[in-house]
């Protein structure tokens, strides 16, 4: 399986996803905001907002294994 790269991260910007991390954890239902350079020019950080919240979180791109796209209209019907 390919690692989550800068190009694949760009394709998910502005969308709601579940982020699956390399350590097995999952960050559920977040909106991807932007990608920016990390401190001291090392690596990239992916900024996200949890659904229903305004605070922005960030995670290094290298810690993400893959992203799963969500369809919020299906969630609203089921809920």
Q: Could you identify the residue written with the tokens 């790269």? A: 5
Please check whether residue 11 lies inside any domain of the structure.
Answer: yes
Residue 33 included in any domain:
yes
End-to-end C-alpha distance for the chain, whole angstroms: 33
Residue 77 pLDDT: 57
Domain count, the chain: 1
Question: In this structure, is residue 1 part of a structural domain?
Answer: no
- Domain span holding position 14: 6-78
Which CATH number does the domain housing residue 45 bear? 2.30.30
pLDDT digit string, tens, across residues 23-52: 999 999 999 999 999 888 788 999 999 988
- Cβ(70)–Cβ(32) below 8 Å: no
pTM for this entry? 0.84
């Amino acid at each position: 399986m390919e690692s989550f790269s800068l190009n694949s991260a760009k394709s998910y910007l502005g969308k709601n996803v579940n982020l699956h991390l390399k350590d097995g954890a999952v960050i559920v239902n977040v909106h991807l905001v932007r990608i920016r350079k990390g401190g001291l020019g090392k690596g990239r950080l992916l900024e996200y907002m949890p659904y229903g919240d305004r605070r922005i979180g960030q995670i290094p791109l290298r810690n993400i294994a893959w992203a799963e796209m969500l369809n919020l209209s299906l969630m609203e019907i089921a809920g």
